[in-house]
Structure 1
């Protein structure tokens, strides 16, 4: 076979530009915060971190930096802040395989919008489960969880990045996704969900709430981001729905062997 007939394949571990930019943004923001005086550093957490108490309408409500504007932007900006290097490192580590595939599939604009939407989903879940809490929540884990949830919609399809038969990175990221209900019947997806929920509930790896009593894990925000990513994936997916019907044979297409 003529080698010229086979175009060079892009390595699966090569990072797409959108993901590189996202990781670079997290790193630059963290570096700037580290260089700030302690008081100013914590002020940035109060200004950009997600604080459930900020939405308290009782007589015990407190003023926070940013006013009404912060009540809006902190639903997203909290996800760009991290407590320390291990915190940001864990998030990037989880994001590399799943975020890379998602960024290739969505493109830059869809990818950044998706990360913002899943951050909002995580903040909403945290607000519902931590009403009136004063400790700020920071970390990209809700968005990372959303990226993982979206990726499993196509990750196990033949030719994708978690299958045993796959092409180059771009091809692996663009295989037709499974419909949601079919994906939730896939034993591999079910196994992934079981492990993911177990890890997050038991160990709570990821988003951290920074308060006077120390750091605690906001695992409910992970679940909120994950649910948003799983349910909203189709709204962002650029692969035409018509192509998805050919991803796997449906039960009606299989021969009856009874």
Structure 2
């Protein structure tokens, strides 16, 4: 009987690894919405200015002292501008700067929260940023625009889980979905984590430099509303647990999971 050599068995193909940085649908929709709204720059100047007056956040709307100024939008604008200002931007550089920070932090948060939670979170952190701006610019007549407060909120929320083993800023991470679903640290545990504290120090330091130095982004002499950044950041850090659908690990388990295989935290 003839014998035939056995055919080599090919190893099973590896499952494709999804890149850690991909855009979930909710974040894609958010960025597209900002881009479409920015087409307002194609409007005649008087109509574009009217759009900013109606949808931008103007602290003077809530001030009955000093100058008697009437803004378009009426009483309704006192409500919706707490959120709508965040969808307006000064220029493409302003949009690009915010999108750049949304790519890692917003992607992880949108995957973790899902679309509805993500959009509500962005609105809540925008409102928190507007409130912080109002408290520190009580009589300001210049409108504030931009998504930076919400972007700051996503950064703050994401660091509650970003450094946990397997997440997107850890030394040992999984694919995009797995990285976004690791159990988060409690607020108290996060504030005792060395990498979280280092991130906080750098973030607040940069914003203080922007505030003290009155630096501008985009070359149009548009000042940075750094108080709004801080308001959105603090809201994202503190309110994260109200939105988070992933069960939180016990403190002892969180301690173990926050250290990667090389022993670094």
Question: Residue 217 of structure 1: CA displacement?
Answer: 1.2
Question: Residue 215 of structure 1: CA displacement?
Answer: 1.9
Work out whether residues 185 and 248 of structure 2, in 8 Å CA contact, stay in contact via their aligned partners in 1. Answer: no
Residue of structure 1 equivalent to 2:162: 155
Choose which of 27, 33, 36 in structure 2 pairs with 1:19. 27
* 1:3 maps onto 2:45 in alignment: no
Secondary structure at the counterpart of residue 216 of structure 1: coil
Residue correspondences, number: 244
Secondary structure at the counterpart of residue 79 of structure 2: helix
Residue of structure 1 equivalent to 2:235: 228
Choose which of 143, 152, 161 in structure 2 pairs with 1:145. 152
Question: Residue 242 of structure 1: CA displacement?
Answer: 5.5
Residue of structure 1 equivalent to 2:85: 78
Normalising by structure 2, we get a TM-score of 0.87
Deviations 1:98-145 (A, max 9, x none): 000000000000000000000000000000000011000000000000
Deviations 1:20-45 (A, max 9, x none): 000000011002x1110111111100
Change (3 A) 1:231 1:116: same
Trace 1:34-53 onto structure 2 (pairs within 5 A): 34-53=41-60
Residue of structure 2 equivalent to 1:58: 65
In angstroms, what is the RMSD of aligned CA positions? Answer: 2.3
Using the alignment, how far apart are the partners of 1:103 and 1:203 within structure 2?
28
Residue of structure 1 equivalent to 2:6: none
Normalising by structure 1, we get a TM-score of 0.89
Larger radius of gyration: 2
Residue of structure 1 equivalent to 2:203: 196
Question: Residue 243 of structure 1: CA displacement?
Answer: 6.7
Using the alignment, how far apart are the partners of 2:200 and 2:224 within structure 1?
19
Question: Residue 200 of structure 1: CA displacement?
Answer: 1.4
Question: Residue 214 of structure 1: CA displacement?
Answer: 4.5
Question: Residue 240 of structure 1: CA displacement?
Answer: 1.9
Question: Residue 7 of structure 1: CA displacement?
Answer: 3.6
Work out whether residues 155 and 161 of structure 1, in 8 Å CA contact, stay in contact via their aligned partners in 2. Answer: yes
Change (3 A) 1:240 1:64: same
Using the alignment, how far apart are the partners of 2:145 and 2:80 within structure 1?
13
Using the alignment, how far apart are the partners of 1:184 and 1:61 within structure 2?
45
Residue of structure 1 equivalent to 2:76: 69
Unaligned runs of 5+ in 1: 251-258
Choose which of 157, 179, 204 in structure 2 pairs with 1:172. 179
Residue of structure 2 equivalent to 1:255: none
Residue of structure 2 equivalent to 1:133: 140
Secondary structure at the counterpart of residue 246 of structure 1: helix
Secondary structure at the counterpart of residue 247 of structure 1: helix
